[in-house]
Structure 1
Amino acid sequence: MTAQLESDISVGDIHTGTGTPEHDDTARHFVADSHALMLAGVVNGGLGLVFWAVAARTLPVEAVGRASTSVMAATTLGALSNLSMGPFFERFLPTAGATGRVLILRTHLVVAAVAALLAAGYLAVAPRGELFTDTGQVVMFVVTVVVVGAFALQDSVLIGLLRGRWTAWKNIAHAVAKLVLLLVFGFVYTDSAAVLLAWTVPAAVAAGVVTVLITTGGAGLRRVFDRVTATLPPARSLVRECVSLYGIVVVNALLPVTVPLLVVHELGVTEAAYFGVSWTLVAGVTLVLSMISGPFVARAAAAEPAALPALVHGQTRLLVAVAAAAAIALGAIAPVAMILLGTQYADNTRALLWIMAVTQLLSVPGYVFGGLVRVRRTLRYALCVQAGMAAGVIGLTWSLLPHLGLTAVGLAYLVMEFAMILAIAGPIRRMLREIDADAREAA
């Protein structure tokens, strides 16, 4: 089954000087998974623009502002509810064996409970009167957070099971289904409920299907769980790693939750609508870049040390190519596409999109660093860097929003991306030297 899935997508040979066919084969499988996930990211980005264009044409601007803010909050809280188990599964499921299935199912129950608690906490501090028009939307928001938490966790679970292409098809199916359902619910509801329902229903169906497959071992997953004997590190080491990973997840989640609330507070729900729709495009291209990390970590965890240089080489080449394409998409295509939503959307977001296009080019070292620290299991410094990045973006955005409008968000990210490059240049060089040394010793 694995061999059949690995051959679904053919890629060119990668020659990295290892001289070992199985090492190049590992790199090819990583690139194949990454290509599938990047395709899913591109489809999600394109259909995401159409999704919000339909929302903008069928709903009032205020409803779009409420919906986009709620969706960003729900997806972020859903990621937080994963308790860093997503990155954990990507790193350790390849060597967890049959233990992995029990861990996955138990984690789903915990994640659902945490998601409900986080949603309740958000509702306690968020401006509910501005974001929701009735109690039904409040309840719907809680359900959305729980569903999105499970949906996001399963992306990492499938990647950790070396089924990255399943993740890709799951996300493509969700992108298509939510657009179709928006057209349906748009005739029934005239507020943000149409968006939340369209987003939540297909995610719930997809999460249910994947859960059944994991529980029953269907579609060849039983062989995946049984193919290796569990070789997990000691429990204390795993706990420390989970704490560091969760710290990074929490810090990363601060921005998607805090920045939209700052926009609502400083500029109002109309500007929040412009920001929310444009930021969907930014998040889409960022998602394409971030999707490369999961397959890299999973393949590196399952590979011999001698294969790591080939994997690092393949990851870096992909990141550079995708970052260049992302910059073109945000700088040239996205501003034109925003006109589809209306001239007011395009006029208010053009500068923000241009700045974020430049930021994509500067983000490559950060993604390389993120993948390396997860493989090498050296996460504490990464946590400090991410905390500094988030604090800088929030502080700069807060201080500049009243003066520069939405452009302030782009400038904050640009400045802090420069700062991150300076902070991680030394550690990246050191880890690459260590990987080369380990590969030579293993060879």
Structure 2
Amino acid sequence: MTVAGEASTEQGAQRNLRLNTYSLVLANLLTAVLGLVFWGVAARLYPAEAVGIGAAVLNSAVMLSALSMLSIDSLFERFLPAAGTRAGYLLQRGFLVVAAAALVAGAVTVFVGPDSLFVSGAMMLLYPLVVLEHCLFTLEDRATAGLGVARWAALKNIFHAVAKLLALIALAWTGSALSIVLSWVVTGAVAVVVVFRAMRRRYRSEPMFQEPPTLPPRRVLLRYSGTAYALMAVSAIPPLALPLLILSQSGPVASAHFAITWSMIAALYMTLHLIVSPYVAEVAAHPDKVGSLSRRMVIMMAAGALIGSTGLVVVGPFALGLVGGDYRAGGEGLLYLAALFIPLAAITVVYEGFARVKRRLGLILAVRGVAGVLVIGGSVVAIGEWGVIGVGWAHLVVEAVAAAVVLVPIIGFLIRSKRDPQWLVRSSVRPDDDQPIPVTS
């Protein structure tokens, strides 16, 4: 390839990275706002009992869907760009496996779950489909990233945020929890079908998916998937445990203050991870551009963390004040601490992106696991001493330690990628990888 051709390819890869990343970040912010509006409208138009049951059904389905994906979403993000003519086969098989796991998980929950969650036979029949919709909806986020069109997921999420709100209003006359769930699930299912059809056209027509695959052997894919699944599991434990700790130690009022405040902080955590996903897919598609793409991702991550932290300080207290003066008084300190630990968290997220690119997740898994234990343990002590703000102090200390651990590997990765842009291409087939996965389906 000529120098001009290489420059054009690099500019195209960086342009695609920026477009996909900015689309996901903006869509995440918009859907977060519309999500709050959704529940605010539900609280005004539906009985409190219906809102409580609907929220419990949907939230439990979200957790089940995360477990049911079996980290196939991580495989799509990292390996679809190298799948070539196998992309369609892998997508179809992956979606079928995830769909089966979601239906089984939903059915088991119906049989063993609390009676208060399933208030009618219709809700019991619907619940496995709720888990299925959540699963496939989320799976498409990383599948589109692997296909190089993460911006499609951004459009999907915006459509769903608007459509489910309109459906919620249209069904308000029923006043039932089932209507709340249906407004979410039916509109999401429509989005899933539309995007899946678009993905099918993508892998059938895009030139990069008409070439022979360069996938590692199946055992390497399974090893990566298993480690990614463990990483997801350990990362999910603190968000599940902390609300329960605050409720048990500080009571329901403090729990409410924490829930509203932490929703803003959690949205920023999500934004940081959204910056990484298109990067991993773009490097997998262009491993010879790892240096320039990595530097671009670090710049976008730094900008996202800085803007997010500034927003927490400037806009966050005002937003809490709109909810209520007591919410601002109870959560303002936590927002200020989050403005300090979000940039530290961004450093660890950067390393996680590099680890996914290298297919070496051992260190980040250890860091996340230890950090989760320390956050929970530190919060147990700090909540008793300082209340809700104690969670912020625990996060600040733990995120600082985690950032210190991964900072040297980050610098080493960036230096190596700048000095030797081809190193990732050479390391794509390792001695322990044996033969690549066959082309036949």
TM-score range, shorter chain: 0.7 to 0.9
Is the CA contact (8 Å cut-off) linking 1:65 and 1:270 kept in structure 2? no
Matches for 1:180-259 after TM superposition, within 5 Å? 180-189=166-175, 193=178, 195-214=180-199, 217-218=200-201, 220-224=202-206, 226-259=209-242
Q: Which residue of 2 aligns with 1:45?
A: 32
| Equivalent residue for 1:83, pick from 56, 70, 78 | 70
| TM, length-normalised to structure 2 | 0.84
How far does residue 314 in structure 1 lie from its aligned partner after superposition?
0.7
Query: Does 2:282 match 1:296?
Result: no
Bigger mean CA offset, 390-399 vs 32-41: 390-399
Query: Does 2:133 match 1:175?
Result: no
Amino acid of the residue matched to residue 107 of structure 1?
Answer: G
What secondary structure is seen at the aligned counterpart in 2 of 1:98?
helix
Q: 1:344 and 1:368, CA in 2 relative to 1: closer, same or farther beyond 3 A? A: same
Is the CA contact (8 Å cut-off) linking 1:275 and 1:406 kept in structure 2? yes
Q: 1:294 and 1:49, CA in 2 relative to 1: closer, same or farther beyond 3 A? A: same
Q: 1:346 and 1:155, CA in 2 relative to 1: closer, same or farther beyond 3 A? A: same
Is the CA contact (8 Å cut-off) linking 1:76 and 1:257 kept in structure 2? no
How far does residue 161 in structure 1 lie from its aligned partner after superposition?
0.5
Is the CA contact (8 Å cut-off) linking 2:287 and 2:422 kept in structure 1? no
CA distance in 2, matches of 1:359, 1:426: 19
CA distance in 2, matches of 1:337, 1:229: 52
How far does residue 256 in structure 1 lie from its aligned partner after superposition?
3.2
Q: Which residue of 1 aligns with 2:96?
A: 109
Amino acid of the residue matched to residue 153 of structure 2?
Answer: T
CA distance in 2, matches of 1:140, 1:63: 16
Q: 1:286 and 1:187, CA in 2 relative to 1: closer, same or farther beyond 3 A? A: farther
Query: Does 2:368 match 1:383?
Result: no
| Equivalent residue for 1:408, pick from 369, 377, 390 | 390
How far does residue 64 in structure 1 lie from its aligned partner after superposition?
5.8
Q: 1:103 and 1:412, CA in 2 relative to 1: closer, same or farther beyond 3 A? A: same
Matches for 1:365-376 after TM superposition, within 5 Å? 365-376=347-358
Listed one character per residue, the Cα deviations across residues 87-124 of structure 1 (whole Å, up to 9, x for unaligned) are 21111101102322122222222222323444567778
| Equivalent residue for 1:313, pick from 269, 277, 295 | 295
| Equivalent residue for 1:364, pick from 328, 346, 351 | 346
Query: Does 2:269 match 1:286?
Result: yes
| Equivalent residue for 2:309, pick from 327, 330, 340 | 327
Amino acid of the residue matched to residue 283 of structure 1?
Answer: A
Q: 1:334 and 1:221, CA in 2 relative to 1: closer, same or farther beyond 3 A? A: same
Amino acid of the residue matched to residue 159 of structure 2?
Answer: A
Q: 1:418 and 1:56, CA in 2 relative to 1: closer, same or farther beyond 3 A? A: farther
| Equivalent residue for 1:165, pick from 132, 151, 169 | 151
Q: Which residue of 1 aligns with 2:3?
A: none
CA distance in 2, matches of 1:387, 1:26: 33
Amino acid of the residue matched to residue 339 of structure 1?
Answer: G
Q: 1:397 and 1:342, CA in 2 relative to 1: closer, same or farther beyond 3 A? A: same
Bigger mean CA offset, 154-163 vs 320-329: 320-329
CA distance in 1, matches of 2:45, 2:326: 16
Amino acid of the residue matched to residue 308 of structure 1?
Answer: V
Structure 2 residues without counterparts, runs of 5 or longer? 1-5, 427-441
CA distance in 2, matches of 1:263, 1:60: 26
Is the CA contact (8 Å cut-off) linking 1:120 and 1:142 kept in structure 2? yes
Q: Which residue of 1 aligns with 2:41?
A: 54
**Identity between Structure 1 and Structure 2 (%):** 32
Is the CA contact (8 Å cut-off) linking 1:64 and 1:273 kept in structure 2? no
Is the CA contact (8 Å cut-off) linking 2:87 and 2:203 kept in structure 1? no
Amino acid of the residue matched to residue 132 of structure 2?
Answer: V
How far does residue 357 in structure 1 lie from its aligned partner after superposition?
2.7
Amino acid of the residue matched to residue 314 of structure 2?
Answer: A
CA distance in 2, matches of 1:124, 1:395: 33
Listed one character per residue, the Cα deviations across residues 130-184 of structure 1 (whole Å, up to 9, x for unaligned) are x737256566554433211111111110110011111110111111122223333
Is the CA contact (8 Å cut-off) linking 1:72 and 1:257 kept in structure 2? no
What secondary structure is seen at the aligned counterpart in 1 of 2:420?
helix
Q: 1:39 and 1:152, CA in 2 relative to 1: closer, same or farther beyond 3 A? A: same
Listed one character per residue, the Cα deviations across residues 266-311 of structure 1 (whole Å, up to 9, x for unaligned) are 5566655444443332232222221111110111011142x21110
Q: 1:419 and 1:272, CA in 2 relative to 1: closer, same or farther beyond 3 A? A: same
Amino acid of the residue matched to residue 201 of structure 1?
Answer: V
Listed one character per residue, the Cα deviations across residues 333-369 of structure 1 (whole Å, up to 9, x for unaligned) are 1332233334444444333333323222222211210
Is the CA contact (8 Å cut-off) linking 1:65 and 1:276 kept in structure 2? no
How far does residue 370 in structure 1 lie from its aligned partner after superposition?
0.9
Bigger mean CA offset, 345-354 vs 233-242: 345-354
Structure 1 residues without counterparts, runs of 5 or longer? 1-18
Q: 1:278 and 1:175, CA in 2 relative to 1: closer, same or farther beyond 3 A? A: farther
Q: Which residue of 1 aligns with 2:61?
A: 74
What secondary structure is seen at the aligned counterpart in 1 of 2:84?
coil
What secondary structure is seen at the aligned counterpart in 2 of 1:166?
helix
Matches for 1:144-155 after TM superposition, within 5 Å? 144-155=130-141
Listed one character per residue, the Cα deviations across residues 422-441 of structure 1 (whole Å, up to 9, x for unaligned) are 22122222322332343177
Is the CA contact (8 Å cut-off) linking 2:50 and 2:175 kept in structure 1? no
Amino acid of the residue matched to residue 51 of structure 1?
Answer: F
